[in-house]
Structure 1
Amino acid sequence: MRLASFNVENLFDRAKAMNLDTWADGKPVLEKFAALNGLLGQVTYSAADKTRMAALIVELGMEKSDTGPFVILRRNRGALLKRPHAGGVIVTANGRSDWVGSLELRDAPVSEQAMRNTARVMTDLEADVLGVVEVESRPVLSAFNEQVLPAVSGKPFHQVMVIDGNDERGIDVGLMAREHFTLGLMRSHVDDRSADGNLIFSRDCPEYFITTPKGTTLVVLLNHFKSKGFGSPQSSNARRRAQAERARVVYEDLLAGGFEYIALIGDLNDTPDSAQLEPLVDSTLKDAFTHPNFDEGGFPGTFGLGNAGNKIDYLFLSPKLFAKIEKGGVFRKGVWPGVKPKRWETYAELTAPEQAASDHAAVWVDLDI
C-alpha cells in the first residue's frame, strides 16, 4: 500500500491575506486579525482594549464599512461600535455579551490551473491513503474529490474525512482512502489542553484507524503544527514544542495499547534538527526520509525550492511500520521549480508560480502491510 501526505494549501478558496504574492505580504493582516479577534472575544472590554480595537479596525480597512479588503466584521445583533462622520471608529460595547457576531477572513478563489494541478498531484501520487493538510472542510474535500479529480482523469477516493479543527481560517487536516482501505474508528484531539488551560493543537491531531485489504490495522495521526508565519517566534516555537510533546504522548499511548503500525504525518512547520520537533525525533518514531530506499530527488527540503531549511513535511513511522518500507520519495511535479536554474520537472500546465498545486511537495512511502 502507498501512504502519502500533501499540504494542498486549500482547494477552492483561500483567505485573501494568505493568497498574496508572498507570505510576508499577508503576515501583517493575519497578525492584526488575530489580535482583534482575541480582543473581541474578551468578556469585558477595558478602555485600553476599546482604543486598540478601534485602531485595528481602521488598520484592517474597516473605518467606513464592516467589509474590509481582507476581513469582514459580521454584526448580527447588539451594538459594538459607531463610525462618526468625522472619521475613525468608536467601540461602544463593554464586553462580548453586548453584541452578537464574528470577525472573518475574506476568501478568494484559487486559480483554476492551480486547482487542476492539485488534482493532478493527488492522482499521480497513486496513494491508497492520503493525508491532506489545509483543506477547507469535508464538504469541500468531497466536492473536490468528486468533481475536480475526474476532470484531470483521476479516480475519486472511496472515503474522505475531515474533522473540524481549531483554526478559524478554514485550514483543517483530512484523510482520503481508496476502496478496500476501510476507515473505522476516529478519535479527535481538538480539545486537548495544556496545564494552563490553552488548546494545544492549532488544527487537530486526529487518530484515523484504517484496515488494509490484508486485514492489518494502520493508525494515522495527521498533523499541521503551528506555523512560523505570525505571532512572535518565541510563542510559535513554544506552541510547536507543546504540540510535538502531546503528539508523542498520543503515539506512545497507541503503542502501549498494542498497535504496531502507526504513522504520524503532515506539515510540522519545522526542521528535524529543531528543538521544537525534538520530542518526536528522540522518540521511537523514525523519519521515512532516513530509510535507505527513500529518494528525496536530490533536494532535502519539501517546501519552496527544497532547501534543507525547508524540510517541514513528514512521514514519521513506528519501528515496525518503518521496517515495512519498500520505497518512498518526494513528489515535486506540482511545485514551482524556480527559473535559474529550474530545479525539477513539472507539469506542462505549470507555467507560473500562481499555477502551482502548492508550495509543498507531497511525500510518500510504499508499505508491505
Structure 2
Amino acid sequence: MPLRIATFNIENLMARFDFSGFRHENRQDRVVRMFGVSDKELYRDLEQARLISETDDTRQLSALAIAATGADILCLQEVDDMAALNSFERAYLSRMMGVGYRQKVLVEGNDTRGIDVALMMRDKTRDGQPIQLVEVRSHAALTYEQLGLFTPQIGLTNKPDDRVFRRDCLEVDVRIGNKPLTIYVLHLKSMTQSRDDTDGRFASMPVREAEVRAVRHIIERRFGTDGAGTASFVICGDMNDYQERLKVTGDQFSGYAFEPVREEMSALDIFTRDGFADNIVRRRPEMDRWTLFHSRGPEEQHLCQLDYIFLSQALARHNPDVFPEIIRQGQPYRTVMPAGQQVERFPRVGWDRPKASDHCPVVVSLELP
C-alpha cells in the first residue's frame, strides 16, 4: 500500500498585487524598472499586466512539476491563502491531472509577507486506499518563553514573547486505509543577509535552531521521548538550511567543477545527530541531493538541499530501500547541473524565468507500518 508524499516550495503562489515597488526600487520588478515609470497609475497598470502574464506561465510550470511527482499528499510552502490554493488547483492542476487534490489544509501563520504552509491530499491513493483527514493543529502561536527557547542569541533579534515559528509548524493527522500518519509541514526562517553584511546563514541560524527544537518538542510531547522512535511521522518542507552543498566553480567556457562541502554546523543537526529523524534524500548519491541552485554571480555559486522529507525512525526502518525522487524539469536554464544530471525542461522554461519555482519538488513512495 504505497503512499506517495511530496514537498514543494511553490514560490509565491499569490492572488494579490504588490505595488510597493513604485516607492521602493528594491521591490520593483526589473522589467518595469527599465522603463523608469514615474506615474503611479501607469505603474499599477503595467505591473498588473506584467504579473498576470508571467503568472500564467509560472503556474503552468508549477502544475507540471507537481504532476510529475504523482503525489497522493502534497506539502506546500509560500501559499498566499486558501483562495489562491483553490484557484490554482482548479485552473491549473486539475487540467493536467484530472481528479485533483480535493482535500486542502491551510492555516494563516506568522509570515509578514502573508505566505503560508499548506497541504493538499487526494481522496484515495493511486492504488485505491482512502485518505482520511483526521485532525489539524497549528503551532503558530507558540512563543520562545513558552518553550524555554529564549537565549541571549535569540535576544539579539527577538523578545521572549515573540512567536517561535516564522510561518507555522502545521501538524496534520491522516489515515491511509486504516493506518495512521502524522505530517509536519514547515518553512523555516530564511537565510536573509544581516544588516552588517555578515553571513546571512549564520546570522539567522539561532532562529532556525529554535524552530527545529520546537518541532522536536512538539513531537516528543505528542509521542513521548521513547514513543517518537516508534511513531509514524514525516517532517516536510523548506528548511532554509543545509548540512552539505556542492560548491560550483568555473564557467561555460572553461567548464564547471563541483566540490562537495560538508558544513560544520546546521540547524538540521538537531533532527539528525541522534537518529531522531532520517533525511531520506541522503540515500541519493552525494552529488545528486540538491534541490536549489544558489548564485550571487560567478564568485558565489552552489547547489544545496533546502527541501526535505524527514522520516521517523519507525518509517525509516520500515522503508529501508525506498529512494526519493527530485523533480528538476522546472528549473530555469541558469541552473548549473553536474554531468549526467541534465534533464529535459518543461516547455517554455526560460533562462531565469518563467520557471516552476526556484526549488525542486521532492517525492517518495512509502509503505506505512
Given the two structures, how large is their TM-score scaled by the length of structure 1?
Answer: 0.70
Measure the CA separation in 2 of the matches of 1:15 and 1:281.
Answer: 40
Q: Name the counterpart of 2:137.
A: 187
User: 2-side partners of 1:155 and 1:117: how far apart?
Assistant: 18
CA apart distance, 1:2: 0.5
In structure 2, the partner of 1:334 is 330
Once the two structures are TM-superposed, the CA of residue 337 in structure 1 deviates from its matched residue by 3.7
| C-alpha contact 2:78 2:116 (8 A) present in aligned 1 | yes
Shift of 1:155: 3.1
Partner in structure 2 of residue 58 of structure 1:
none
Unaligned runs of 5+ in 1: 20-25, 31-63, 71-106
Contact 1:111 1:354 survives alignment (8 Å) = no
- What is residue 186 of structure 2 aligned with on the other side? 223
Contact 1:11 1:135 in 2 (8 A): yes
Contact 2:333 2:349 survives alignment (8 Å) = no
- Aligned counterpart, 1:197: 161
Aligned partner letter, 2:87: A
Matched, 1:261 2:243: no
What is the rounded CA distance, in whole Å, between the counterparts of 1:16 and 1:4 in structure 2?
29
Instruction: Work out which of the residue numbers 58, 61, 73 in structure 2 matches 1:114.
Output: 58
Pairing of 1:85-164 with structure 2 (within 5 A): 108-109=51-52, 110-164=54-108
- Cα distance in 1 between the residues matched to 2:362 and 2:104: 19
CA distance in 2, matches of 1:300, 1:222: 20
Rg comparison, structure with higher value: 1
The structural deviation recorded for 1:349 is: 2.9
Residue 311 (str. 1) matches residue 308 (str. 2): no
CA 1:116 to 1:248, structure 2 compared with 1: closer, same or farther past 3 Å?
same
Distance 1:175 1:254, change over 3 A: same
| Counterpart residue number, 2:281 | 289
| Aligned equivalent of 2:173 | 209
Matched residues, number: 291
Superposed CA deviations along residues 188-221 of structure 1, whole A, max 9, x for unmatched, are 11001002111100100010001102x1111011
- Partner SS state of residue 132, structure 1: strand
Measured in 1, the distance between the counterparts of 2:310 and 2:335 equals 32
Match of residue 241, structure 1, among 209, 219, 223: 209
Report the Cα distance in structure 2 between the residues aligned to 1:206 and 1:229, rounded to whole angstroms: 23
* Seq. identity, %: 25
Q: Which residue identity is paired with 2:327?
A: F
Superposed displacement of residue 27, structure 1: 10
- CA shift, 1:308, in A, is 6.1
- Amino acid in structure 2 at the alignment position of 1:185: E
Query: For 1:6, which of 5, 8, 16 is the aligned residue?
Result: 8
Cα distance in structure 2, aligned partners of 1:263 and 1:314 = 10
Aligned partner of residue 174 in structure 1, secondary structure = strand
Report the CA distance shift for 1:305/1:266 in structure 2 as closer, same or farther (over 3 A): same
1:286 Cα shift?
0.7
Distance of 2:307 and 2:20 partners within structure 1: 19
Q: What is the Cα deviation at residue 142 of structure 1?
A: 1.4
Distance 1:295 1:235 in 2: 30
Q: Which residue of 1 aligns with 2:32?
A: none
CA shift in 2, pair 1:324/1:305, >3 Å: farther
**Which blocks of at least 5 consecutive residues in structure 2 are unaligned?**
29-38, 45-49, 124-129, 146-159, 244-262, 296-300
TM-score under structure 2 length normalisation: 0.70
> Whole-Å Cα distance in 1 between the matches of residues 285 and 355 of structure 2?
22
Distance in 1 of aligned mates of 2:79 and 2:270 = 27
Give the Cα separation in 2 of the matches to 1:277 and 1:17.
Answer: 36
Say if 1:164 and 1:319 are closer, same or farther in 2 by CA, change over 3 A: same
> Would the alpha carbon gap of residues 204 and 68 (structure 1) be closer, same or farther in structure 2, given more than 3 Å must change?
farther
Q: For the residues of structure 1 that align with 2:168 and 2:282, how far apart are their CA atoms?
A: 26
Query: Post-superposition shift, 1:276?
Result: 2.2
Check whether the contact 1:299–1:308 (CA below 8 A) recurs between aligned residues: no
C-alpha contact (below 8 Å) 2:294/2:302 kept by paired residues: no
- Take 1:111 and 1:140, find their aligned partners in 2: how far apart are those partners? 12
Give the aligned partner of residue 165 of structure 1: 109
- 1:36 matched residue in structure 2: none
Q: Give 1:271 deviation, angstroms.
A: 0.5
Measured against aligned partners, the alpha-carbon deviations of 1:330-355 in whole angstroms (never above 9, x if no partner) come to 11111114377793321123234211
Cα pair distance change 1:367/1:308, threshold 3 Å:
farther
- 1:141 and 1:185 map into 2 onto residues whose CA distance is 20
Aligned to 1:104: none
